[in-house]
Amino acid sequence: MELTGLEWLLDHHKTKEQERRQMVADLDLHPGDRVLDLGCGPGLWSTLLGEKVQPNGSVVGIDFDSLLIEYARRTVQESPLSRIIEFRTGNFYDIEFEDGSFDLVFFGNCFAYVDDFHKALVEQKRVTRQGGRIAAKDFDGAVFIFHPIDPVLQSKVQLATARGLRENPPEPAFENYMGRKLHGMFLREGLRSVTTKSYAIQKVAPLTPEAKRYVSGNAEWYVKTGAPFLSEDEARQWRAHFDPESPACILDREDFYFCMLEVLTVGVV
Write out pLDDT tens, residues 243-258. 999 999 999 999 999 9
Contact 90, 64 (CB under 8 A): yes
The CA distances from residue 90 to 31, 40, 117, 227, in Å, are: 26, 10, 17, 36
Closest to 57 in 3D by CA, of 32, 75, 81, 91:
32
> pLDDT confidence of 4, banded at 50, 70, 90?
low
pLDDT single digits (tens) 194-248: 999 999 999 999 999 999 999 999 999 999 999 999 999 999 999 999 999 999 9
- DSSP β-bridge partners for residue 63: 89
Question: Is the pLDDT assigned to residue 2 strictly greater than 50?
Answer: no
Indicate the helix (H) or strand (E) that contains 89. strand 85-89
Q: Specify the 3-state DSSP secondary structure of 83.
A: helix
Q: What average pLDDT does the segment 67-90 reach?
A: 96
pLDDT of residue 217: 95
Dist CA 155 CA 267 (whole Å): 34
Q: What amino acid is encoded at 95 in this protein?
A: I
CATH code of the region 5-268: 3.40.50.150
pLDDT of residue 62: 98
